[in-house]
Protein backbone atom coordinates (compact mmCIF):
# COMPACT_ATOMS: atom_id res chain seq x y z
CA UNK A 1 0.00 0.00 0.00
CA UNK A 2 1.44 3.38 -1.05
CA UNK A 3 1.88 5.94 1.72
CA UNK A 4 0.29 9.39 1.60
CA UNK A 5 2.69 12.02 0.15
CA UNK A 6 4.64 13.98 2.73
CA UNK A 7 7.69 16.24 2.82
CA UNK A 8 10.90 14.28 3.33
CA UNK A 9 12.12 16.62 6.05
CA UNK A 10 8.89 16.31 8.06
CA UNK A 11 8.96 12.52 7.94
CA UNK A 12 12.61 12.37 9.01
CA UNK A 13 12.29 15.06 11.68
CA UNK A 14 9.21 13.38 13.14
CA UNK A 15 11.17 10.16 13.46
CA UNK A 16 14.06 12.01 15.09
CA UNK A 17 11.65 13.71 17.52
CA UNK A 18 10.14 10.36 18.55
CA UNK A 19 13.57 8.78 18.97
CA UNK A 20 14.95 11.67 21.05
CA UNK A 21 12.48 10.70 23.78
CA UNK A 22 14.22 7.34 24.09
CA UNK A 23 17.83 8.31 23.31
CA UNK A 24 19.27 11.23 25.27
CA UNK A 25 22.47 11.17 23.19
CA UNK A 26 20.76 12.69 20.15
CA UNK A 27 21.47 16.41 19.68
CA UNK A 28 19.85 18.61 17.02
CA UNK A 29 21.32 21.77 15.47
CA UNK A 30 19.76 24.16 12.98
CA UNK A 31 21.21 27.03 10.95
CA UNK A 32 18.24 29.39 11.24
CA UNK A 33 16.10 26.95 9.29
CA UNK A 34 12.77 25.73 10.60
CA UNK A 35 9.72 23.57 10.01
CA UNK A 36 6.55 22.80 11.99
CA UNK A 37 8.01 19.49 13.14
CA UNK A 38 11.21 21.20 14.27
CA UNK A 39 9.11 23.31 16.66
CA UNK A 40 8.27 20.10 18.55
CA UNK A 41 11.96 19.22 18.93
CA UNK A 42 12.77 22.72 20.21
CA UNK A 43 9.79 22.62 22.61
CA UNK A 44 10.29 19.12 24.03
CA UNK A 45 14.10 18.89 24.06
CA UNK A 46 15.40 22.44 24.58
CA UNK A 47 18.56 21.17 26.27
CA UNK A 48 19.44 19.22 23.11
CA UNK A 49 18.49 21.77 20.49
CA UNK A 50 20.51 24.78 19.32
CA UNK A 51 19.84 27.24 16.52
CA UNK A 52 23.28 28.58 15.59
CA UNK A 53 21.78 31.25 13.32
CA UNK A 54 22.79 32.01 9.74
CA UNK A 55 26.21 30.47 10.35
CA UNK A 56 26.54 27.16 8.53
CA UNK A 57 30.31 27.00 8.95
CA UNK A 58 29.91 27.27 12.71
CA UNK A 59 27.12 24.68 12.47
CA UNK A 60 29.75 22.17 11.34
CA UNK A 61 32.21 23.23 14.05
CA UNK A 62 29.65 22.86 16.85
CA UNK A 63 28.44 19.54 15.40
CA UNK A 64 31.97 18.15 15.46
CA UNK A 65 32.51 19.25 19.06
CA UNK A 66 29.27 17.67 20.26
CA UNK A 67 30.05 14.47 18.37
CA UNK A 68 33.44 14.22 20.04
CA UNK A 69 31.60 14.37 23.38
CA UNK A 70 29.60 11.30 22.38
CA UNK A 71 26.42 12.83 20.96
CA UNK A 72 24.68 11.60 17.82
CA UNK A 73 24.37 14.91 16.03
CA UNK A 74 21.91 16.08 13.38
CA UNK A 75 22.73 19.37 11.64
CA UNK A 76 19.99 20.92 9.54
CA UNK A 77 20.20 23.60 6.81
CA UNK A 78 19.45 24.37 3.16
CA UNK A 79 21.35 21.94 0.92
CA UNK A 80 23.67 24.32 -1.01
CA UNK A 81 24.58 26.16 2.20
CA UNK A 82 25.34 23.12 4.38
CA UNK A 83 27.57 21.70 1.65
CA UNK A 84 29.25 24.43 -0.42
CA UNK A 85 29.45 27.16 2.22
CA UNK A 86 31.12 24.72 4.62
CA UNK A 87 33.57 22.77 2.46
CA UNK A 88 36.67 23.41 4.57
CA UNK A 89 34.89 22.78 7.87
CA UNK A 90 33.43 19.52 6.54
CA UNK A 91 36.81 18.44 5.21
CA UNK A 92 38.81 19.17 8.37
CA UNK A 93 36.32 18.72 11.22
CA UNK A 94 34.32 15.80 9.85
CA UNK A 95 35.97 13.87 7.02
CA UNK A 96 39.55 14.26 8.25
CA UNK A 97 38.91 14.13 11.99
CA UNK A 98 36.67 11.08 11.70
CA UNK A 99 39.72 9.22 10.39
CA UNK A 100 41.21 9.29 13.91
CA UNK A 101 38.25 9.98 16.22
CA UNK A 102 34.88 8.26 16.41
CA UNK A 103 32.00 10.62 15.68
CA UNK A 104 28.44 10.50 14.42
CA UNK A 105 27.38 13.66 12.56
CA UNK A 106 24.43 13.64 10.15
CA UNK A 107 24.11 16.63 7.83
CA UNK A 108 20.52 17.15 6.64
CA UNK A 109 20.47 19.26 3.47
CA UNK A 110 17.01 20.30 2.26
CA UNK A 111 16.59 21.53 -1.30
CA UNK A 112 18.30 19.00 -3.57
CA UNK A 113 18.46 19.79 -7.27
CA UNK A 114 15.70 22.10 -8.49
CA UNK A 115 13.38 21.64 -5.53
CA UNK A 116 13.65 25.33 -4.56
CA UNK A 117 12.49 26.00 -8.10
CA UNK A 118 11.58 29.70 -7.83
CA UNK A 119 14.70 30.71 -5.89
CA UNK A 120 17.12 30.41 -8.79
CA UNK A 121 20.62 28.92 -8.96
CA UNK A 122 21.82 30.35 -5.63
CA UNK A 123 19.37 28.13 -3.74
CA UNK A 124 19.24 25.24 -6.18
CA UNK A 125 21.76 22.47 -5.71
CA UNK A 126 23.38 20.68 -8.64
CA UNK A 127 26.91 20.21 -7.26
CA UNK A 128 26.43 18.53 -3.89
CA UNK A 129 26.73 14.90 -5.03
CA UNK A 130 30.11 15.69 -6.56
CA UNK A 131 31.35 17.66 -3.57
CA UNK A 132 30.17 15.42 -0.75
CA UNK A 133 31.23 12.11 -2.25
CA UNK A 134 34.70 13.57 -2.83
CA UNK A 135 35.33 13.54 0.94
CA UNK A 136 36.73 10.28 2.33
CA UNK A 137 34.69 8.82 5.22
CA UNK A 138 31.54 10.72 4.14
CA UNK A 139 28.39 8.66 3.50
CA UNK A 140 25.97 10.15 0.95
CA UNK A 141 22.27 9.24 1.21
CA UNK A 142 19.77 10.40 -1.42
CA UNK A 143 16.18 9.18 -0.85
CA UNK A 144 13.48 9.44 -3.49
CA UNK A 145 10.50 9.77 -1.15
CA UNK A 146 9.60 10.47 2.46
CA UNK A 147 9.25 6.78 3.33
CA UNK A 148 12.90 6.14 2.50
CA UNK A 149 14.00 9.37 4.21
CA UNK A 150 12.20 8.44 7.43
CA UNK A 151 13.65 4.94 7.50
CA UNK A 152 17.21 6.16 6.96
CA UNK A 153 17.24 7.33 10.58
CA UNK A 154 18.19 3.81 11.70
CA UNK A 155 21.22 3.97 9.41
CA UNK A 156 22.20 7.37 10.81
CA UNK A 157 22.02 6.23 14.43
CA UNK A 158 23.57 2.80 14.10
CA UNK A 159 26.56 3.64 11.92
CA UNK A 160 29.28 5.99 13.03
CA UNK A 161 30.93 8.60 10.85
CA UNK A 162 29.80 11.75 9.00
CA UNK A 163 26.84 11.44 6.64
CA UNK A 164 25.04 13.71 4.21
CA UNK A 165 21.28 13.28 3.70
CA UNK A 166 20.16 14.94 0.48
CA UNK A 167 16.46 15.74 0.83
CA UNK A 168 14.02 17.23 -1.64
CA UNK A 169 12.20 20.37 -0.48
CA UNK A 170 8.95 19.55 -2.27
CA UNK A 171 6.22 17.12 -1.29
CA UNK A 172 6.73 14.24 -3.71
CA UNK A 173 4.53 11.21 -4.39
CA UNK A 174 5.34 8.26 -2.16
CA UNK A 175 7.05 5.45 -4.05
CA UNK A 176 7.12 2.96 -1.21
CA UNK A 177 4.50 1.75 1.24
CA UNK A 178 4.96 1.45 4.96
CA UNK A 179 7.45 -1.39 4.64
CA UNK A 180 11.10 -1.53 5.62
CA UNK A 181 13.50 -0.73 2.80
CA UNK A 182 16.61 -2.87 2.38
CA UNK A 183 19.10 -0.43 3.90
CA UNK A 184 21.88 -3.02 3.69
CA UNK A 185 21.53 -3.23 -0.09
CA UNK A 186 21.37 0.55 -0.48
CA UNK A 187 19.17 0.29 -3.56
CA UNK A 188 15.75 -0.94 -4.64
CA UNK A 189 14.74 -2.43 -7.99
CA UNK A 190 11.46 -1.65 -9.77
CA UNK A 191 10.63 -3.95 -12.66
CA UNK A 192 11.61 -7.30 -14.08
CA UNK A 193 15.04 -8.88 -13.85
CA UNK A 194 17.32 -8.91 -16.92
CA UNK A 195 15.73 -6.02 -18.85
CA UNK A 196 17.22 -4.58 -22.01
CA UNK A 197 18.09 -1.41 -20.09
CA UNK A 198 18.37 -0.42 -16.44
CA UNK A 199 17.62 3.16 -15.44
CA UNK A 200 19.88 3.84 -12.44
CA UNK A 201 18.64 6.96 -10.68
CA UNK A 202 18.80 8.73 -7.34
CA UNK A 203 16.62 11.24 -5.49
CA UNK A 204 13.96 13.05 -7.51
CA UNK A 205 15.11 11.43 -10.74
CA UNK A 206 13.74 8.08 -9.55
CA UNK A 207 10.27 9.54 -10.16
CA UNK A 208 11.32 10.53 -13.68
CA UNK A 209 12.84 7.10 -14.27
CA UNK A 210 9.64 5.34 -13.23
CA UNK A 211 7.59 7.49 -15.63
CA UNK A 212 10.03 6.85 -18.48
CA UNK A 213 10.06 3.10 -17.78
CA UNK A 214 6.25 2.92 -17.82
CA UNK A 215 6.10 4.61 -21.24
CA UNK A 216 8.80 2.44 -22.77
CA UNK A 217 7.29 -0.77 -21.40
CA UNK A 218 4.02 0.17 -23.10
CA UNK A 219 6.01 0.29 -26.35
CA UNK A 220 7.48 -3.16 -25.79
CA UNK A 221 10.91 -2.05 -24.55
CA UNK A 222 11.89 -3.84 -21.33
CA UNK A 223 13.18 -1.28 -18.87
CA UNK A 224 13.69 -1.57 -15.10
CA UNK A 225 14.58 1.11 -12.55
CA UNK A 226 17.20 1.00 -9.80
CA UNK A 227 16.68 3.51 -6.98
CA UNK A 228 20.19 4.05 -5.60
CA UNK A 229 19.52 5.81 -2.29
CA UNK A 230 22.88 4.99 -0.66
CA UNK A 231 25.56 6.29 -3.01
CA UNK A 232 28.54 5.28 -0.90
CA UNK A 233 27.49 2.18 1.03
CA UNK A 234 25.46 0.13 -1.45
CA UNK A 235 26.08 -3.61 -1.77
CA UNK A 236 28.52 -3.63 -4.67
CA UNK A 237 28.39 -7.36 -5.35
CA UNK A 238 24.59 -7.49 -5.42
CA UNK A 239 24.32 -4.48 -7.71
CA UNK A 240 26.99 -5.83 -10.05
CA UNK A 241 25.19 -9.15 -10.31
CA UNK A 242 21.98 -7.31 -11.12
CA UNK A 243 23.37 -4.95 -13.74
CA UNK A 244 25.51 -7.54 -15.51
CA UNK A 245 22.38 -9.06 -17.06
CA UNK A 246 21.56 -5.91 -19.05
CA UNK A 247 22.88 -4.64 -22.38
CA UNK A 248 22.75 -1.02 -21.28
CA UNK A 249 22.52 1.30 -18.29
CA UNK A 250 21.21 4.87 -18.14
CA UNK A 251 22.32 6.98 -15.17
CA UNK A 252 19.96 9.78 -14.17
CA UNK A 253 20.76 12.58 -11.74
CA UNK A 254 19.39 16.03 -10.91
CA UNK A 255 22.92 17.40 -10.91
CA UNK A 256 25.54 18.49 -13.41
CA UNK A 257 26.51 15.75 -15.86
CA UNK A 258 30.18 15.02 -16.45
CA UNK A 259 31.24 16.71 -13.20
CA UNK A 260 31.92 13.76 -10.91
CA UNK A 261 28.40 13.00 -9.67
CA UNK A 262 26.34 9.85 -10.10
CA UNK A 263 27.58 9.31 -13.65
CA UNK A 264 31.21 9.22 -12.53
CA UNK A 265 30.41 7.02 -9.54
CA UNK A 266 28.62 4.45 -11.70
CA UNK A 267 31.14 4.49 -14.51
CA UNK A 268 34.09 3.97 -12.16
CA UNK A 269 32.24 1.22 -10.34
CA UNK A 270 31.19 -0.62 -13.52
CA UNK A 271 34.59 -0.20 -15.11
CA UNK A 272 36.19 -1.87 -12.09
CA UNK A 273 33.64 -4.68 -12.48
CA UNK A 274 34.43 -4.96 -16.21
CA UNK A 275 30.87 -4.26 -17.27
CA UNK A 276 30.74 -4.65 -21.05
CA UNK A 277 27.41 -3.12 -21.97
CA UNK A 278 26.76 0.48 -23.00
CA UNK A 279 26.24 3.43 -20.67
CA UNK A 280 24.25 6.62 -21.23
CA UNK A 281 24.66 9.42 -18.69
CA UNK A 282 21.80 11.88 -18.26
CA UNK A 283 22.08 14.96 -16.06
CA UNK A 284 21.83 18.73 -16.02
CA UNK A 285 23.69 20.56 -18.76
CA UNK A 286 26.77 22.03 -17.07
CA UNK A 287 25.87 25.71 -17.00
CA UNK A 288 23.87 27.97 -14.70
CA UNK A 289 20.45 29.18 -15.81
CA UNK A 290 18.23 31.96 -14.50
CA UNK A 291 14.99 30.93 -16.23
CA UNK A 292 11.75 30.79 -14.27
CA UNK A 293 9.20 28.04 -14.65
CA UNK A 294 7.89 24.88 -13.08
CA UNK A 295 10.28 22.11 -12.15
CA UNK A 296 9.02 20.03 -15.08
CA UNK A 297 9.59 22.93 -17.50
CA UNK A 298 13.10 23.59 -16.23
CA UNK A 299 13.93 19.90 -16.38
CA UNK A 300 12.97 19.75 -20.06
CA UNK A 301 15.15 22.81 -20.75
CA UNK A 302 18.26 21.31 -19.15
CA UNK A 303 17.84 17.79 -20.53
CA UNK A 304 16.41 15.79 -17.63
CA UNK A 305 12.65 16.11 -18.14
CA UNK A 306 10.37 13.13 -18.71
CA UNK A 307 9.90 13.85 -22.42
CA UNK A 308 13.55 14.36 -23.32
CA UNK A 309 14.71 11.45 -21.16
CA UNK A 310 12.09 9.15 -22.68
CA UNK A 311 13.25 10.12 -26.17
CA UNK A 312 16.93 9.62 -25.41
CA UNK A 313 16.38 6.34 -23.56
CA UNK A 314 14.18 5.00 -26.36
CA UNK A 315 16.86 5.82 -28.94
CA UNK A 316 19.52 4.25 -26.71
CA UNK A 317 17.52 1.03 -26.24
CA UNK A 318 16.70 0.71 -29.93
CA UNK A 319 20.33 1.28 -30.85
CA UNK A 320 21.34 -1.55 -28.54
CA UNK A 321 18.68 -3.85 -29.99
CA UNK A 322 19.73 -3.01 -33.54
CA UNK A 323 23.40 -3.57 -32.77
CA UNK A 324 22.58 -6.91 -31.08
CA UNK A 325 25.48 -6.53 -28.66
CA UNK A 326 25.71 -9.88 -26.82
CA UNK A 327 26.21 -9.73 -23.07
CA UNK A 328 29.74 -10.78 -22.19
CA UNK A 329 31.48 -9.27 -25.22
CA UNK A 330 33.35 -6.00 -25.39
CA UNK A 331 31.29 -3.06 -26.52
CA UNK A 332 31.08 -0.48 -23.75
CA UNK A 333 30.38 2.88 -25.31
CA UNK A 334 29.67 5.47 -22.61
CA UNK A 335 27.88 8.59 -23.79
CA UNK A 336 26.73 11.63 -21.87
CA UNK A 337 24.22 14.45 -22.07
CA UNK A 338 23.66 17.20 -23.25
CA UNK A 339 21.99 16.02 -26.43
pLDDT at 328: 45
Domain parsing of the chain, residue ranges:
6-172, 187-336
pLDDT at 90: 98
pLDDT at 235: 96
C-alpha dist (Å) from residue 136 to 99, 159, 161, 232: 9, 15, 10, 10
Four-way CATH pick for 6-172: 3.40.50.300, 3.90.230.10, 3.40.50.740, 3.40.50.970: 3.40.50.970
Within this chain, domains 6-172 and 187-336 share the same CATH topology: yes
pTM of the model: 0.92
- Mean pLDDT value across residues 93-102: 98
Confidence of residue 184 (pLDDT cuts 50, 70, 90): confident
Query: In CATH, what number does 187-336 get?
Result: 3.40.50.920
pLDDT in tens, 37-79: 899 999 999 999 999 999 999 999 999 999 999 999 999 999 9
Q: Please, what's the largest Cα pairwise distance for the chain?
A: 65
C-alpha dist (Å) from residue 269 to 72, 133, 227, 275: 31, 14, 16, 9
pLDDT at 122 over 70: yes
Beta bridge partners of 201: 227, 252
pLDDT at 335 over 80: no
List the single range of 32-36, 97-101, 264-268 with lowest mean pLDDT: 32-36
pLDDT in tens, 134-181: 999 999 999 999 999 999 999 999 999 999 999 999 999 999 986 677
pLDDT in tens, 196-255: 999 999 999 999 999 999 999 999 999 999 999 999 999 999 999 999 989 999 999 999
pLDDT at 324: 62
13 preceded by a cis bond (ω within 30 of 0) = no
Q: What DSSP designation does 188 have?
A: E
Amino acid sequence: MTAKPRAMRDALLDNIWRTMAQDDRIFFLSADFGSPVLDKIRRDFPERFVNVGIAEQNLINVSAGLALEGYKVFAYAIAPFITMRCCEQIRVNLALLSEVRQMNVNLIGVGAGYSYVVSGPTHQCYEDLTIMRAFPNMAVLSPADHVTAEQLLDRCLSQSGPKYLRLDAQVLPAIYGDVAIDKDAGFHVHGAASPAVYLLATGYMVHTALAVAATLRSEGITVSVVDLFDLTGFDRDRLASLLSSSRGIVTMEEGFVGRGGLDSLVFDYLNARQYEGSILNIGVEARYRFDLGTRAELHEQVGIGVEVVTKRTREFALRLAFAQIPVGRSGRRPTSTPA
